[in-house]
Amino acid sequence: GENVEQHPSTLSVQEGDSAVIKCTYSDSASNYFPWYKQELGKRPQLIIDIRSNVGEKKDQRIAVTLNKTAKHFSLHITETQPEDSAVYFCAASISNTGNQFYFGTGTSLTVIP
């Protein structure tokens, strides 16, 4: 099955700086790559996603890039704010296999005021 690796496991940045989280996947058939944010004690919530026919997608301070050849995708958060502090998970999915999502192990982001 699919194997998703995520780095780093923890990340601390100063408020206003940028944060980058990277993921790699193993199955070239994966074609949908969402990112979820999970605040302490809460449920994961989708913050941005990208499909394999797109190389980059941006939503305000958040962007995701995808390199299909290298099988990696990254989350970029600019102008970080304390409320960005959370655990972030990447995931990969193959749409024709029952929509299974394989998650990375998570990155705990701390934004220092």
The Cα–Cα gap between 63 and 8 comes to 17
Taking CB under 8 A as the criterion, the residue among 101, 109, 110, 112 binding another protein is 101
Contact by Cβ (8 Å): 61, 78? yes
How do beta strands 10-14 and 107-112 pair? parallel
Binders of another protein among 53-72, rule CB under 8 A?
A: none
Half-sphere exposure of 99 toward its Cβ, with a 13 Å CA cutoff? 1
- Selected from 14, 60, 69, 99, the binder of another protein by CB under 8 A is 99
Q: Is 43 exposed, middle or buried (CB count within 10 Å of its CB: 0-12, 13-18, 19+)?
A: exposed
Interactions with another protein, residue window 11-50 (CB under 8 A): 31-32, 34, 36, 42-46, 49
Instruction: Pick between residue 19 and residue 94 the one whose CB is nearest to another protein.
Output: 94
Applying CB under 8 A, the residues found at the interface with another protein are: 1, 6, 9, 31-32, 34, 36, 42-46, 49, 51, 89, 91, 93-95, 98-106
